[in-house]
């Protein structure tokens, strides 16, 4: 099986490549990645079954050539960080919308199976006391340029399935944690701050809730969808991991041997979504998928250990990320 993984040098994509080598040993993997600030070739395993092509998913020449030779395209490439989208939305439109369009045209032309990786952010946010969670039929209601462009990409995929019979599926997952995540994101930012002797930074009161899932569970669900999902369907991926940000910061501090209150409150993110929560019943019941990581505290401790052991991997990103946060006042 020839697998084309877009964005495979990023956090979730590089973990997907690693998982794929284990669960599909016969697979030959081509990673197409622009190696933006968020991509790192060193995140990929050195293995003869994996090759990295540096290129832009919005470049039709590069994309056509690679798609033509693939059996399946798994599309992770995106601009993924909300704070950046509030600072400069254009790269989000370029990659998330134009890039996805370019891939869809290529899989349409060459009749190649496509799986689109998306996010729960497209549904907007929930109230803290809302008994409902997001389901595949929740109306789209994105809040930020990041989530609006991801919503746009999902709608393009749906339209290409219906209008052109493209063989595609979509997954919308909740917040991922685990190794190889860029230090701009919430959990690695706080871990690496503490390693550097800097206090963690909590936006606003820290009551916002995210539904945490280990990256390996996200990726095992993606394979379940590619293997057994129905064409044209949307599957939600989540592991019932709702926690507010204040609790997560306190847990990180505790795991790292610091007082639980040793953090700073900083300015809130404009338009900050209050709560995300996934109902993954369809994915579990239809595909028989179950998450393997059920203990967030244990997964967090493993993640802390990974960042302690891999300073060479994250050190170069750290100063640049913190400069950006300093400019944004966060």
Q: Identify which range of 22-30, 35-43, 268-276, 317-325 contacts ligand NAD by CB under 6 A.
A: 35-43
Q: Does residue 116 belong to the site contacting ligand DAU (CB under 6 A)?
A: no
Structure tokens that stand for 16 in this block: 């997907």
Number of residues that bind ligand DAU (CB under 6 A): 19
Cβ nearer to ligand NAD, comparing 117 with 191: 117
Chain residues 221-280 in contact with ligand NAD, contact rule CB under 6 A? none
Q: Stretches 61-69, 119-127, 156-164, 290-298: which one binds ligand DAU (CB under 6 A)?
A: 119-127
DSSP string, 31-50: EEE---TT--GGGS---TTE
- Residue 117 touches which member of ligand NAD, ligand DAU, none, C-beta under 5-8 Å by kind: ligand NAD
Site for ligand DAU in 207-246 (CB under 6 A): 208, 210, 245
- Strand-pair partners of 115: 74, 169
Q: What are 271's two structure tokens? A: 């338009």
**Other CB atoms closer than 10 Å to residue 293's CB: what's the count?**
18
Which residues, other chains included, contact 298 with Cβ-Cβ below 8 Å and sequence gap of 6+? none
Where do we find the tokens 């990659």? Answer: 95
For tokens 């990673």, the residue is: 31
The DSSP secondary structure of 173-188, one letter per residue, reads E--EESTT--TTSHHH
Closest among 53, 57, 48, 59 to 25, alpha carbons compared: 48
Evaluate whether 92 touches 146 at the Cβ level (below 8 Å): yes
Q: Which of residues 133-192 bind ligand NAD (CB under 6 A)?
A: 150, 173, 175-176, 182
Pick one of 9, 191, 224, 252: the residue that binds ligand NAD (CB under 6 A): 9
Closest CA to 79 of 112, 38, 117: 38
Q: In this structure, what token pair is assigned to residue 176?
A: 């991922």
The verdict on 82 binding ligand DAU (CB under 6 A) reads yes
Q: Which conformational region is residue 35 in: left (phi greater than 0), alpha (psi within -120 to 50 degrees), or beta? A: left
CA pair distance 72, 166, nearest whole angstrom: 12
| Binding string, residues 144-183; x marks residues near ligand DAU by CB under 6 A | ------------------------------xx--------
Selection from ligand NAD, ligand DAU, none that 9 binds (CB < 5 to 8 A by kind) is ligand NAD
Q: Is 102 in the site for ligand NAD (CB under 6 A)?
A: no
Q: Cβ-closest residue to ligand NAD?
A: 10
CB of 28 to ligand DAU, least distance (A): 28
Q: Which 112-141 positions form the footprint of ligand NAD (CB under 6 A)?
A: 117, 119
Note whether 275 binds ligand DAU by CB under 6 A. Answer: no
Closest separation in Å from C-beta 273 to ligand NAD: 13
> Which residues contribute to the site for ligand NAD (CB under 6 A)?
6-7, 9-13, 32-36, 38-39, 56-58, 76-80, 95, 99, 117, 119, 150, 173, 175-176, 182
């Amino acid at each position: 099986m020839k697998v084309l993984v877009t964005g495979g040098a990023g956090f979730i994509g590089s973990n997907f490549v690693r998982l794929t080598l284990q669960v599909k040993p016969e697979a030959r993997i081509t990673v197409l990645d622009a190696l933006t600030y968020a991509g790192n070739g060193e995140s990929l395993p050195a293995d003869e079954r994996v090759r990295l092509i540096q290129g832009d998913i919005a470049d039709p020449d590069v994309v056509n050539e690679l798609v033509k030779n693939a059996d399946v395209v798994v599309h992770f490439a995106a601009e993924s960080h909300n704070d950046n989208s509030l600072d400069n939305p254009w790269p989000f439109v370029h990659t998330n919308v134009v890039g996805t369009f370019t891939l869809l045209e290529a899989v349409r032309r060459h009749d190649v199976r496509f799986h689109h990786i998306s996010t729960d952010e497209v549904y907007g946010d929930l109230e803290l006391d809302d008994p409902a969670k997001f389901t595949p039929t929740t109306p789209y209601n994105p809040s930020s340029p990041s989530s609006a462009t991801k919503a746009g990409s999902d709608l393009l995929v749906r339209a290409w399935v219906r209008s052109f019979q493209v063989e595609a599926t979509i997954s919308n997952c909740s917040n991922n944690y685990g190794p190889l995540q860029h230090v701009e994101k919430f959990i690695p930012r706080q871990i690496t701050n503490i390693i550097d002797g800097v206090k963690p930074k909590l936006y606003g009161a820290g009551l916002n809730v995210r539904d945490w899932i280990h990256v390996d569970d996200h990726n095992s669900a993606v394979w379940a969808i590619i293997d057994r999902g129905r064409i044209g369907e949307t599957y939600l991926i989540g592991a019932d991991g709702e926690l507010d940000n204040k609790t997560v910061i306190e847990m990180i501090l505790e795991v790292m041997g610091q007082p639980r209150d040793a953090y700073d409150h900083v300015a809130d993110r404009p338009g900050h979504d209050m709560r995300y929560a996934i109902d993954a019943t369809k994915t579990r019941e239809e595909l028989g998928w179950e998450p393997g990581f059920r203990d967030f505290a244990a997964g967090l401790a493993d993640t802390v250990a990974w960042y302690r052991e891999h300073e060479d991997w994250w050190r170069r990103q750290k100063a640049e990320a913190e400069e950006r946060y300093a400019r944004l006042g966060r």
